[in-house]
Amino acid sequence: MIKMLTACGAGVNSSHQIKDAVEAEMKKRGYQVSVEAIQIKDLNPETMKGVQIFLPINKPDLSFDVTVPEIDAGAILYRMPAMAAPVYDKIEDTIKKNHLS
Amino acid sequence: MSDKIAETSLFDRDTVYVSDATSRADVFKSVAEDLYKKGHVTKDFLKNLNEREDKYPTGIDLSVVSPEYPNVAIPHTEAEFVKERKVVPIKLKNPISFNNMIDPSQEFEVSFLFMILNNDPEGQSNVLAQIMDFINKTPQNQLLTFFKSTSADAIYSFLQSKF
């Protein structure tokens, strides 16, 4: 299972939409992926533990260094295939390049 | 049939607003006070709504969907400040400045708000996804008419039939 993390301000709408969309699309592409959706204020080295890809939505200003690959996932929110596809491709490339599983 | 009922229940006629406000603070205040009076949100809803919008903006640039569409925003709070799952449509007669949700350094004018009340983040269908699907699937001429409407009745009935 590949572990990813996404975060938005309230932890209610945007992050859950990214979670649902990325999990569904990556399953379609043949990957076992689990995305956790949390509030930005809860992002810290502790919550990042075990995370293999970070999927920020709104270019958050973090007080610590993210040491795993980061892929800007905001475009997925539009629910338009043409906007989302490049994000999914980048996620798949990152999985392959880093041999994540 | 049951699906249709589940979808349409996201809107209530008495929580559709057409606002004359000229600032974000004013429109948030008048709508939040009415929502509180009607029992849909908690007392601290307004405070959290403003704080969140300052820190994590919710403007959505619709020019990437169609250059003719006005921009919208989806203000919302954490789940604890709302008592149900609902979308509150607010037409802004005067466009108001919001920052971009996916790039907060960008600012633009917004003329329609889909305020999201969500007390159940894990719920079956994602409200934000439903709003975006509504925008993407509604024929452009109809959506343009909808965005221009200043009749709460017309806004409500369009959403009831198309959302």
Any idea what the Cα angle at residue B51 is, between residues B45 and B52, rounded to 5°?
Answer: 85
Q: Percentages helix, strand, coil for chain A, rounded to the nearest 5? A: 40, 20, 40
Reported as a single tens digit per residue, the pLDDT across B123-153 is 767 899 999 999 999 999 999 999 999 999 9
Chain B residues touching residue A75 (CB < 8 angstroms): 102
β-strand partners of B87: B116
- What residues in B contact A74, CB-CB < 8 Å? 101-103
- Asked whether B103 and A58 are in contact (CB, 8 A), the reply is yes
What average pLDDT does this structure show over B44-51?
A: 96
Q: Taking Cα atoms as reference points, which of B22, B16, B18, B17 lies closest to residue B94?
A: B22
- Subunit contact B105:A9, Cβ cutoff 8 A: no
Identify which of A10, A57, A77 has the shortest CB distance to residue B78. A10
Burial-class residue A67 by CB neighbours within 10 Å (0-12, 13-18, 19+). exposed
Select the residue of A12, A21, A72 nearest B78 (Cβ to Cβ). Answer: A12
Residue B144's domain comprises 2-162
Residue B131 CA from chain centroid, whole number: 9
The pair of three-digit structure tokens given for residue B49, joined into one six-digit string: 């709504």
Interface of B with A (CB under 8 A): 52, 55-58, 60, 64-65, 74, 76-79, 101-105, 116, 118, 121-122, 126-129, 132-133, 136
- Token digits for B20? 């004359």
Q: How far apart are CA B17 and CA A78, in angstroms?
A: 24
Number of domains in chain B: 1
Relative to beta strand B17-19, strand A33-39 is unpaired
Contact between residue B112 and residue B131 where contact means Cβ atoms under 8 Å apart: no
- Residue among A14, A18, A45, A48 at smallest CA distance from A33: A18
- What ipTM was predicted for this assembly? 0.87
pLDDT of residue B66: 95
Dump pLDDT digits (tens) for A32-87: 999 999 999 999 999 999 999 999 998 888 899 999 999 999 999 999 999 999 99
From the list A11, A14, A83, the residue facing B101 with the nearest CB is A14
Torsion angle of C-alpha atoms A18, A14, B17, B66, degrees rounded to 10: -50
Give the pLDDT mean for B3-24: 82
Name the residue among B48, B143, B58 with its Cα closest to residue B107.
Answer: B58
Q: Nearest C-alpha of chain B: how many angstroms from A31?
A: 22
Give the count of beta carbons closer than 10 Å to the beta carbon of residue B127: 24
Instruction: Report the chain B residue with the minimal C-alpha distance to residue A11.
Output: B78
pLDDT the model gives residue B122:
73
A76, amino acid identity: I
SS3 A69: coil
Apex B5 CA angle, B39 and B119, nearest 5: 40
Please tell me which of the candidates A9, A16, A80 has its beta carbon nearest to residue B65: A80
Query: For B52-59, what is the mean pLDDT?
Result: 94
The enclosing domain of B135 has a CATH number of 3.40.930.10
Q: Which CATH architecture has domain A2-97?
A: 3-Layer(aba) Sandwich (3.40)
